[in-house]
Structure formats: structure tokens, C-alpha cells
Structure 1
């Protein structure tokens, strides 16, 4: 019986050796790499202007001078390609009795530049521009309103340097 056990063990060992030689072993992976990409693209340029400016009230007279008020504006520039901007403005209605100035320009129904910036930063550029309102020769007591239309124009382009 000892011989049968010994020969069974030897035969089993030979069979195990043959089958383990046929088994594929996985190689250990100890390093790796990842490529990361990111694309920076042009963004938007936007204009935000105060939606309302109230000059208050003045009594009726030959010349009703409302004085000056600042109008806030924000040019947000994420294009990365502009160096400065220009704001143009015009009034949307004709009124011979009204004198409305933005900066040092008298507004009319034709757009004209009222703000010219030669440089701007990427991001928000918040500033104010002065406006002056007068009425001459009005005879009626009422609330007078005017609408101003603004237009933003990008100035010279520049190369992005890294």
C-alpha cells in the first residue's frame, strides 16, 4: 500500500507540475501615465449700464438745470484679445428743449463716442461717466424721460503673451 501511495503522490506531483507550467501569470504593473489637456478659448465681452438714472426734481423756470449725475457701466472682457474699448451713446427721441450730455458730448439721435479707454483688464472694468441734464423753455409740469442707447466697440487687438 505504501508503494501505491508513493506512486500516487509522484504521479500527482508530475501532473501538477505540467498544469502549472501551462497557467499564464499576469505581470505586475507598477507605473502609469495620464495625459491631461485643457483648452483656453475666447470668452465674451459684455456691457452693463445703469438701467435708470434719476435726476430728481426742480421747479419750473426758463432753464431747468438738473445738474450732473454719474452713470455706472461695466465692460466685462474675457476675450483676451482686446486692448481698450469705446462706448457710444445716442438718445432715442428728439427733444429740442432738452440738453443731455454724457461726458463732454451733447447727445443727439446719432451715436457718438462718449467713453474711450485705451487699456482694459481681463475681467470686469467698472467705471462711471458723468451726465448733465437741462431743459430750456418748457412750460408744462410733468415727468420728462429720455432713453439712451449704448453701443460697445472693442478697440485694437493684441497678442496674448505667455
Structure 2
């Protein structure tokens, strides 16, 4: 099968989203992901090669090298963030922080995860859940800053020491 035929086959596959409603996504975004999800995933994982400049741009977005600009890019990134976020929050509630390693290290995704953890912590009445969220936020910051200079004045995304008022 040629690369073009493979692209066409993946574009025919529908119903990527198995959940009827992904909290936080509009109907338009869900429709895009539902109709193109298999193709988006194949492009982002490298299962198929890009055939155009727009597809190369899409891959750059999924790798966190550039910010999403098109409706397709924004819908896919938002879907991936929300699904990873759901997994991370469920695991953090149980005191398991291993899923944090699955979070892409770009600021767009990390900001969304930390914002959701902050909101979840605020909503929760449970001391244990709140403590797990705080620990999760610190671990997400560590993951984001891995391999970067960790000086007090050079911590990315207002993270690390700034979160604790230092």
C-alpha cells in the first residue's frame, strides 16, 4: 500500500472518540477529532509520513515545537490534553504520579494540566485529594523543567519556586 493510499484509508475511519462527551470540548472540536482522529494519531505518532507542509506543521504542533493555529491542530491538541489530563487526575487522586511522564513538556499542555489540578484542588473538600493535587503540581513542574537550568531566576512558566511564593 502506498503512503497516499494509507492516508486515504485512515481518513475513511470515523468514530475516533469513544466517549459521547469529552468535558471541555465543543461540538465542532469533537466532530473534527471524531472524523479525523485516526489520521491525526497516525501523523502524530509517525505511523504515516506527512505529504504536505500543513501536515509537517501539524506534526510540529503535536511535538510541542509550535503553537496550534488551525482548527484541526487546536482540536487535536485540546483532545489530547483533556484525555491525558483525565488520566493524570485519576492517578493523582490515588497517589500515583507515574502518568505525569506522559505529559508533553510544552508550556501549552503543562499550563492546562496545572490549571486543571489547581481547579480540582480548589473544588475538593478532601484533605488527601488536595495534598495529592499539590504534590502532583510540583511533580508536573519538575517534569516540565527536566533538563533545563534550575536557577531561581530561570524556572520556566512561572513554576517551581514561584508557586510557593519564593
What range is the shorter-chain TM-score in? under 0.3
Which of the pair has more CA radius of gyration?
A: 1
> Normalising by structure 2, what TM-score?
0.23
The TM-score with structure 1 as length reference comes to 0.23
Structure with higher RCO (Cα < 8 A, 6+ apart): 1
Structure ranking higher in strand proportion:
1
Larger fraction in helix: 2
